[in-house]
Chain A
Amino acid sequence: MSDAITDQTAPAQGRWWIGLFLVIAVLVAIRAGMGEGVGRVYVQTETTRYASTTNEQGRVAWSAAADGTAGAVTIERDLFRTAGQFRAAESAAPGQQAIRVSWDRTIGLWLAAFFTLAVFSFLAGDNPAYKFTESIVIGVSAGYWMVVAFWETLVPKLLANLAPDMVKAWCMPNLEGGAFNPIALIPLGLGIMLLSQLTPLGRHVGRWPLAFVIGTFAGLKMVSHVESDIIEQVRATMLPMVAFGDDGSFAAWASIRNVLIIVGVLCTLAYFVFSVEHKGAVGRAARVGVWFLMITFGSAFGFTVMGRIALLAARFEFLFIDWLWLIDPKGERGMTVVATLVSCIVDMT
């Protein structure tokens, strides 16, 4: 059984990690016993009734209806509520059930916290918790994109053309049209050929759909790139080298800016011309182009770091605000942890 989880992780390391996660669990348990506790998700059930009306064209349309409407259909949805809203409802009517703890969402919150910590644990080295989380995300991602592809593309674009009546009755009642479209058999055939790649014979059969995908994508991208990335970018670079303001006066900074952009684009493009040796004037232009490229890469690096740090901050916010309830920037909870700690100390003394 130990083979099931041991890969490159040594047993001693495994014990260390289990110990660390136990320490975290104890700390969380202590925190859970303080004040209002930790991570809970509240919901309120919203009940809406819908009644149907038939318009002049004979089409049935559903809209929200008042209570007691004959033939109305009721739909219930659980919507998120904050801890503050729960507290307000409790103080107004103790023991009320309108706003309540959602156990499935609360379990989800704790699971999300575990996954977050497990991924962070990789910073200290590979470990079973990280590998478990990694395995989960691989399976979930593959399943997620398959489901999205099925409901977003295969059903409305393929099945709806092949069996419109069935799709209309099953899941797309608002589907326009409704006749069998034999043209849809072509992508179906190509799709089946593509899926045959999973079989030993599929390597040869799968060439045609692959050729179609590559040819179509090449054509699509050629048009869009030439239009937006060549024509539009060149047009945007055709700037006046001597610029004037709205009042007709010479605009020095705008002129310098425009000259710098034109020179920068031309010099950087010169660097990308590899069919001419980078010597003399071309070499000097390419050198200036490299400077512009370095500044571009530097700013891209800066933005990448900032983006990652913003994500990191968001994860810490999740851990400290949503899960541990350690901080309360929105004032949703009755007592902050600091206030709870003070009251605990006061009680003890």
Chain B
Amino acid sequence: MSRPVDAEPRPPGLRGATRVLLERELDLAWSGGGGPLLACGFFACLTAVLPLAAGGDPRTLSPVAGGIAWLALALASLLSLERLFERDLEDGALDLLAIGHLPLESVVLIKALAQWIAVGLPLALTAPVAALALGLPVSLAPLAALSALIGGAGFALTGALGAALALGAKRGGLLIAVVVLPLFIPPVVFGAGALERAASGQSPAPALAFLTAYVLFAGVIAAFAGAAAVRNAQG
């Protein structure tokens, strides 16, 4: 590799660019408006409303605790998606990212990764608390956190794809929800399924394997389709 002739500072390599972008995304996610805490608050609110809507009887609630927790998780994961690309499109940062070192596919993946760390991780920590409040057995709390963590990666990746698709749309937030929620069905099915299997004494491993497969699949699709959508929005 030849060094650049002029005296400009050496561009950070791919690894450096990845780290810089990840740090920037995390900074943006954590700064202002409560960041991920808002998503956790929304998650807590949903967890409070859903059982009351269903009657609140522990006998009816306990069997569906995992499912309700997963529904709340999916909805809470939608919250901050709208700003994921829209903000960068508005202030021109997306154009800079497009001409930078990283291919747009990686940019989409890194943004999804940051979304996972910033939103998915706190939600995964909140998930067992919410599930216990709904009546899930305490012994299943670690599984609830683990499955929520894996599922959170799927939500972040699919959500990033939806956010990229909805770039430049009127009422983007609502549109992202309509586009993304059908894609959230498999992780909700597998995630809640893992808890259900464990609650009935079966091994949750198959459901977790399906959940992980969904995440890997979503990673491939979201990278390429998301990058295509971002390029299209930049026109």
Instruction: Determine if chain A interacts with chain B.
Output: no
